[in-house]
Amino acid sequence: MSEILVTGATGNVGRQVVVQLLARGGSVRALARDPERAGLPAGAKVVGGDLSRPDTLEEALTGTGTVFLIWPFLTAEHAPAVLETIARHARRIVYLSSSGVNESTERQADPINQLHADMERLIEGSGMEWTFLRSNTIASNARGWAEQIRAGHVVRGPDIAATAVVHERDVAAVAVRVLTDGGHSGGKHVLTGPQVLGRAEQVRLIGEAIGRPTRFEKVPVEAARQQMLADGRPPALVEALLASAQTRPESHVITSTVEEITGAPARTFRSWAQEHADGFR
């Protein structure tokens, strides 16, 4: 088996992909801007590279047959050059996309789903075999509430439509199967958790996990904007997140894809909260 290159390897999903590939005996390269600080498990070959600079990817890609791509930017500006570089080395690409992508419309309802739709189109035209993992809201996003919960047990922010939140370990488990097994070329797999939850329900479940009542308090968009900017988030990211909160429709879609591909049922958000309770205490 040729080596698999995992981008976003130091993030929540990418790190899990590396760990689970190693557990299956895979040969893994992990892309990191700063390999010395990656902190990845022994067995992973950590290689330097930056997706914003395609010229830094050549060495990391040499000898790689398959790439797991997490795109960390808010636009697809650098994507054509990156995909051209990847295609010179790899024959397969697995892309972490969004379940919110609507193929029946040219323009998506919010900028984050528009980015994923743009990326999918570029990958389809890259000449590589491809598979898209269209993930629902990932549970690890809730880590962004940790400071507020530790400080006062209240999470304040803009509300967002409820979705079937999916555990990052399940997203990674599907990715590992797709990366290592055949039969997924051209697949568009929608990954969800087993239960549709809004932010209030997620915050409540975190409170149950830590043994203290917590609650979600919706705030006006402008107040949320000022707080997010004060927290140091990039303005472009703030606007994208707020646009998603305002325009993304509620989704009651629950799929069985996680279990069909991995053989194990999708984990609940309750189990995620229990696993990560120490981070909120």
Angstrom distance (rounded) from CA 164 to CA 210? 22
With respect to residue 219, please indicate whether it lies within any of the assigned structural domains.
no
With respect to residue 12, please indicate whether it lies within any of the assigned structural domains.
yes
DSSP-assigned letters across all residues of 206-220: HHHHHTS--EEEE--
Q: Which long-range contacts (CB under 8 A, 24 or more apart) does 148-151 make?
A: 149/203, 149/206, 149/207, 149/210, 149/214, 149/280, 150/280, 150/281
Angstrom distance (rounded) from CA 71 to CA 97? 9
Give me the torsion for CA of 141, 147, 148, 149, rounded to 10°: 80
Angstrom distance (rounded) from CA 253 to CA 99? 9
Q: What is the pLDDT of residue 81?
A: 97
Range of the domain at 105: 3-136+168-191+253-265
Q: What is the pLDDT of residue 240?
A: 80
Query: For the chain, what is the domain count?
Result: 1
In 3D, which of 12, 4, 57 has the Cα closest to residue 28? 4
Whole-model pTM: value is 0.93
Displacement of CA 70 from its chain's centroid (Å): 7
The pLDDT tens digits of the residues spanning 86-122 come to: 999 999 999 999 999 999 888 888 889 999 999 999 9
With respect to residue 237, please indicate whether it lies within any of the assigned structural domains.
no
- Strand arrangement, sheet containing 45-48: 45-48, 28-32, 3-6, 64-69, 92-98, 129-135, 188-191
With respect to residue 117, please indicate whether it lies within any of the assigned structural domains.
yes
**In degrees rounded to 5, what are phi and psi of residue 41?**
-65, 155
Please state, as a whole number, how many other Cβ atoms lie within 10 Å of the Cβ of residue 232.
Answer: 6
Q: What is the CATH number of the domain that holds 120?
A: 3.40.50.720
With respect to residue 210, please indicate whether it lies within any of the assigned structural domains.
no
What stretches in the chain show pLDDT beneath 70? 1
Angstrom distance (rounded) from CA 34 to CA 47? 9
With respect to residue 78, please indicate whether it lies within any of the assigned structural domains.
yes
With respect to residue 87, please indicate whether it lies within any of the assigned structural domains.
yes
Amino acid identity, position 99: S
With respect to residue 238, please indicate whether it lies within any of the assigned structural domains.
no
Q: What is the pLDDT of residue 1?
A: 53
